[in-house]
Structure 1
Amino acid sequence: MKGHVYKRGETWTFVVDVGRDPVTGKRKQKSKGGFRRKRDAEAALRKLLSEVDENRYIEPSSEPFSSFIEKWFYEHYKKRIKETTAISREYLLKKHLIDENPFANKPLSSITTEDIDSFYNLKLDEGYSTNYIRKMHQLLHQAFDQAVKWKKISYNPATQADPPSIKKEEMKIWSLNEIHKFLNECKNERNYITFLLAIYTGMRRGEILGLKWSDIDFDKKVIHVNRSLAYVPNKGYILTTLKTKNSKRQIPISDNVVKELLIHKAKQEEWKKRLGKAYEDNDLVICTEMGTMQDPRNILRVMRRLCKSSGVTVIRFHDIRHTHASILISSGVDIVKVSSRLGHANPKITLEIYAHLLPNIQDNVAEIFENELSKHQ
C-alpha cells in the first residue's frame, strides 16, 4: 500500500492509495491536507494505512441521509416489523426524520453525534414528549447501525447521542371503592363485560376487543390471549398478531369472571336469534349487536360517560390495566407472576413501572439475615 506526505504552502498533506474502483478498475486515492506539522500528517497517514490493511477503511458516503433512511425503511426495516408498527413509524420517519430534520440533506458520512443531539433539543423545544423523542432515537440508531453493516459509514453516531430521559406521568388508578362504584354503574351496559375483563385480567384494550370465544377454556378457567384489534389506514380495524411473544399468554380467571362471561354469551345468542342471517358471527366476545368488530373509540366514549355518572376518577382505559397490576403488587403477588399476567417482555419492565408500589422490606433486612445466620451456630 503506497502513501506519502508533502508540503503545500505552509501546511502538510498526505495522499494514499485505497484500492481500486470495482467498476473501472482504476486506482483510488485519498488525500487530506491542512496539517501544520509533518509528523501530524505522517501519523494520520499511518492510521489510514492501518485501516486499509485491516479492511476497516470505508469510503465516505456522499449519499444524503434522507435518501439512505428512506431506502433502509422501505426496502429493509418495514419488511421485518408488524404492519401496524410500520404505519406509525412511517409517519415519524416522514415528518421528523426527513421533512423537519436539519441534517436530512447532509451526506450520511458527515452526520455527527452533535447533529443528532441538536435534533433532539429541537424536538424538545417544539414541545414533543420525551417518550416520542426516544422513539425517534430508536429509529435513528437502527438505521445508522444498518449503515455500518452495509459499510456506508464506519461508526454509528447515534450510539453516543443523548436522547432525553422519559418523563413518567403520574399514574392514575382507581381505589377498590371506585372499582365497585364503576362496575355497579355499568352493570346494565352492553359493554359491562369489556370493563369487567379489563379490571379482572389487566388485558390491553386491543387484546380484549380481539378476544374470541374459542380463546376461553371455561373448564380450566383460562383465557388464551392470541391476537389484538388494531387500526390500519385504508383497511380499518383488523385482527393482528401480538407485538411480542410474551404478549401471547394464558390468564387464569376467577369463578365470577367465568359466570359473567357465560351470561354475556347467552345475551349474544339472543342477538343471533333476533337478527338471524343478518348477524355476522366472528366468534368475538366483544362485538356490536350485529356481531361486527367493536370500535374502540365507542368504548372510550362510554367509559368517560360512566366515570362521570358514577363519580369516580376519570382515567384512561389503559389505567385500568395499571389498577389491576397495582392491586396485585400491593397484595404481595410476586413481580414475575404479575409480569407474566400482563404480558410484559420481561419482569424488568414491570419493575420499572410499578417499583414504587412494592412493599418496603428494608427495615427488617438486618434481622432476617441475623436470624438465618443464627440457625447454623
Structure 2
Amino acid sequence: MTTPRDTLAPSRRVRANGDGTVYQRKDSRWEAAGYVLAPGNTRKRIRVYGTTRKEALGKLTEKIAASNRGVPAPSAQGSLTAYLTYWLENVAVHQLRTTCQCCTRGLDATRDQPRCCAAGKCCSRRLSPLTLAYVHSVLKSALEHAVREEEIPRNVARNVRTGTPRPRRFEPLTADEARTFLVATNGHRLQPLFELALHTGLRKGELLGLRWEDLDLAGGTASIRRTLQRTNSSGLTALPTKTQSSERRIALPTPCLRSLEQHRDRQLQERDAAGTGWKDSGYVFTRTDGAPIEGSTLTRHFNTLLHQARLRRIRFHDLRHSTATLLLEQGVELVVIKELLGHAHIGVTATVYAHVRLRLQRDAIDLLSHALRKPDDSDEPPLAGAAVR
C-alpha cells in the first residue's frame, strides 16, 4: 500500500551538511543562512537575502565557495560596532536636536567665567541644522556599508528625513569697513595675518598652518599645503587642506609682501630674545615663544580689534566672505575667485555668492535702462536698483 510519505519522498531534497538553509520570510523575501570562514580562522553564520529562492541560494553558494577556497568573509562588524558605540554613547543619548550641547558636554566647566549650566542659566547652545545633516549622513553611510556586507537587511537611516539645511547667512565687511579694520590692525603683532586674510580669503586654519618654506617673497606667491586644527586625539595638529582643490598656489599682493618681510624680522628678534626657550615650529604666525597659535586665540584677537574699531561683530570666516564679495564688486571673474578661495567647483563659488552676483546684475540692468531712456525722459532721475539680500 502506498502512503503519502512514500509519494513525497522522491521529490524531497536533502541538503548536505554545511550547505545551509533557505526559507521564505514573512516579508516575502528569501533568506539563506550558512557557516563560512571568518577572519581569525574562525567560522561564523551569515545570512543573505534575495527576491527569489534561487537568488538567495546563489548568493549563499558564492560565499560558501569563497570560504572553501580559504577566503574569509568580509565583515564590517569592527568598524561599524566601534562607530555605533560612539554614536549611542556620545551623540544619540544627548538628543541632538533639543539638548544644549554646552551643558551636555560640560563645556561650561572649563570656562574661566561660566555663563551656562554652571551659572544656573542654560544658553541653549544646540547643534546647527547643517551639523545635524552631517551627523545623519555619516550614520547613513555607516549603515549602508553594513547593508553591502549583508550584516543588516536594510538601512533604516534612509527613512529619516532631515530636510535641506539653509546655508548660514554671512555679513561681509563693506569696502569702508574693511579699510577701517585694516587701520585698526596697525601696530598689532598679528597685523600681517589679518591683512593677508582680508587680501587673499585664506581660511583660519590655512593662515595658521603657513610655514616660511611655503612663502616665496621674492616671487610674490604662497603655497597652501596644510591647515592647522585642534583635534580631540592629537591636540593642535597640521592636517591636509579641506579638499584637494584647497591645496593651491596663490599670488600675494605687494602690501602683504612688505608686512610679511617686517614680520619675519620681528620674529627673528623674538627668537633671539627667547633664547633656549624658543620653540622652532617653522610656522609664519606663532606666539612670542615660537609655538603655533591656537585658533581660539586668534579669534579673541580678532574680536578685540573689531571692538576697538567700533565695527559690528562678525566671524573670522566672514573675512573670507568679505574678500570674495569685494572682488566680485570689482568685476573680478568668478573663476579667478574660485581658484583664490580653493573651492572644489565653481558651482560652490557661484552658489555661495549668488546674492552678490544678483545685486551686480541689478546694477548692470539699471545702468542699461538709464542708457536706453527716451530723450523726453531726460529729466527723470536714473533708476535705482532695489536692495537684494
Instruction: Give the structure-2-normalised TM-score.
Output: 0.66
Is 2:297 the counterpart of 1:298? yes
Match of 2:361 in 1: 360
Number of equivalenced pairs: 296
Structure 1 residues 93 and 260, CA gap change in structure 2 (3 angstroms): farther
Q: Does structure 2 retain, via aligned residues, the 8 Å contact 1:209–1:294?
A: yes
Query: What is the DSSP-based 3-state SS (H/G/I as helix, E as strand, rest coil) of the residue aligned with 1:166?
Result: coil
| 2:133 matched residue in structure 1 | 134
**Residue in 1 that maps onto 2:386:** none
Alignment partner, residue 275 of structure 2 = 276
What do residues 174-219 of structure 1 show as CA deviations (whole Å, max 9, x unaligned)? 1111111111112111111121111011111111111011101112
1:231 & 1:316 partners in 2: Cα distance? 18
Q: SS at the partner of 1:246?
A: helix
Shift of 1:157: 4.3
CA distance in 2, matches of 1:55, 1:69: 18
Counterpart amino acid of residue 350 in structure 2? L
Give 1:95's aligned amino acid. Answer: N
Determine if the alignment matches structure 1 residue 49 to structure 2 residue 53: yes
Q: Is the Cα contact below 8 Å between 2:229 and 2:295 reproduced in 1? A: no
Gaps of 5+ in 1: 1-16, 36-45, 60-67, 78-88, 101-121, 368-377
Deviating 4+ runs (over 6 angstroms):
56-59
Q: Which residue of structure 2 lines up, in the alignment, with residue 326 of structure 1?
A: 325
Provide, for residues 72-118 of structure 1, a one-character-per-residue CA deviation record: whole Å limited to 9, x for no partner. 3577x8xxxxxxxxxxx996664235x35xxxxxxxxxxxxxxxxxx
Contact residue 92 and residue 136 of structure 1 kept, 8 A: no
The answer to whether the 8 Å contact 2:22/2:56 transfers is no
1:30 partner SS: strand
Alpha-carbon deviation of 1:125?
Answer: 5.3
Using the alignment, how far apart are the partners of 1:340 and 1:193 within structure 2? 22
Deviation track 1:11-68 (CA, whole Å, cap 9, x = no partner) reads xxxxxx9x979xx615414244599xxxxxxxxxx94325336649999xxxxxxxx9
Summarize the alignment of residues 215-294 of structure 1 with structure 2, pairs less than 5 Å apart: 215-233=214-232, 235-294=234-293
Alpha-carbon distance between aligned partners in 2 of 1:90 and 1:262, rounded to the nearest angstrom? 51
Could you tell me how far apart the structure 2 residues matched to 1:164 and 1:34 are? 29
Mapped partners of 1:196, 1:345: distance in 2: 25
Matched, 1:213 2:212: yes
Query: Shift in Å at residue 155 of structure 1?
Result: 4.9
Task: Name which one, 1 or 2, has greater alpha-carbon Rg.
Answer: 2
Residue of structure 2 in register with 1:340 after alignment: 339
1:276: Cα distance to partner? 2.8
Does 2:78 match 1:71?
yes
Contact 2:224 2:246 in 1 (8 A): yes
Q: Which whole-Å CA distance do the structure 1 matches of 2:355 and 2:77 have between them?
A: 42
AA in 2 matched with 1:48: T
1:28 aligns with 2:21: yes
Q: CA deviation at 1:350?
A: 1.6
- For 1:271 and 1:282, locate their aligned partners in 2 and report how far apart those are by CA, in whole Å: 13
Q: Aligned pair in 2 of structure 1 residues 283, 125: CA closer, same or farther (>3 Å)? A: closer
Write the distance in 1 (CA, Å) between the matches of 2:85 and 2:337.
33
Cα 1:34/1:169, change in 2 over 3 Å? closer
Question: Is 1:95 equivalent to 2:90 in the alignment?
Answer: yes
AA aligned to 2:202 is M
How far, CA to CA, are the matches of 2:146 and 2:317 in structure 1? 37
Residue 333 to residue 70, structure 1, CA distance change in 2 (3 Å): farther
Q: Which range is displaced more, 155-164 or 315-324?
A: 155-164
Distance 2:130 2:302 in 1: 26
Cα shift at 1:154: 5.1
| Residues 1:96 and 1:285: Cα distance change in structure 2 (over 3 Å) | same
Using the size of structure 1 for normalisation, the TM-score is: 0.68
2:185 pairs with 1:186: yes
User: 1:103-157 CA distances to partner (integer Å, 9 max, x unpaired)?
Assistant: xxxxxxxxxxxxxxxxxxx754555421011112211221122113212345544
Structure 1 residue identity aligned to 2:21: K
Deviation for aligned residue 1:70: 7.5
Q: Which has the higher contact order (CA 8 A, sep 6+)?
A: 1
Cα distance change of structure 1 residues 175 and 92 upon mapping to structure 2, 3 Å threshold: farther
Alignment check: 8 A CA contact 1:48 1:57 kept: no
Aligned residue in 1 for 2:146: 147
Contact 2:80 2:146 in 1 (8 A): no
Structure-2 residue corresponding to 1:371: none
